[in-house]
Amino acid sequence: MSADRWLPLESNPDVMNKFVHKLGMPKEWGFTDIYSLELLDMVPKPVAAVLILFPVNQKYEESSKEEQEKIDKEGQEVSKNLMFIKQTIGNACGTIALLHSIVNNSDKIQLSGYLSNFIEKTKDMTPEERASYLKEDEGLSSAHEESAQEGQTEAVDEEVNLHFIALVHKDGSLYEMDGRKPNPINHGKCSNETVLEDAAAVCMKFMNRDPTELRFTLIALSKLSDS
């Protein structure tokens, strides 16, 4: 496996949970499917973050370019407490999204092992330096490969056109955390209690860009139990 490209991680909460629990996320927290934006009451609460897997197509790229041009022109508020990681490894978006969702909720989730060490070692790094750190981290690369190969679908080592991002709440705002972009995207006001609903509204915007596109998967990071 090339250090510059990983096997794509399947959008399977069971695979994801096995992966992040090995890395030091407690088992009372886990990833779970969001089956429909109209069935949010079925999602375990509280929700700390939402992941979205979506197709990268021309409509998405054009919309993202316009969004970034507006930010570059008008600016935006971004919390200094966010930990943002650039993605420089191909097909690593799944692991980057998992990391974004978890490390930015370390105030809610008692982390240990790799995840705790990652935060401590990279807290003062730039997003680009964190990317370099991950690129040289053979332990994480091996863990990612093992999890990618455990998925139900056959893993193929090639560029894919589906992309994972995380939507997280920090300091009163909801942020889109996409390592392919220059910076986090502030999507407006949010709270610990409204993360799921606010993230669902952003997911709907993604879907409305191309109503004919059906390849969307939504996953919540939720507290599943008290022990």
Q: Residue type at 211?
A: P
Q: What are the catalytic residues?
A: 93, 163
Is 119 exposed, middle or buried, given 0-12, 13-18 or 19+ CB atoms closer than 10 A?
A: middle
CB 112 within 8 A of CB 205: no
**Residue 144: predicted pLDDT:** 59
User: Under CATH, to which class is 13-223 assigned?
Assistant: alpha beta
What are the pLDDT digits (tens) for 94-127?
899 999 999 999 999 999 999 999 999 999 999 9
User: Does residue 79 contact residue 63 with C-beta atoms inside 8 Å?
Assistant: no
pLDDT in tens, the chain (227 residues): 345 766 667 789 999 999 999 999 999 999 999 999 999 999 999 999 999 999 888 888 999 999 999 999 999 999 999 999 999 988 888 899 999 999 999 999 999 999 999 999 999 999 999 999 988 887 676 665 666 666 544 444 344 588 999 999 999 999 999 999 999 999 999 999 999 999 999 999 999 888 787 789 999 999 997 75
Model confidence, pTM: 0.90
pLDDT given at position 196: 97
Ranges of each domain in the chain: 13-223
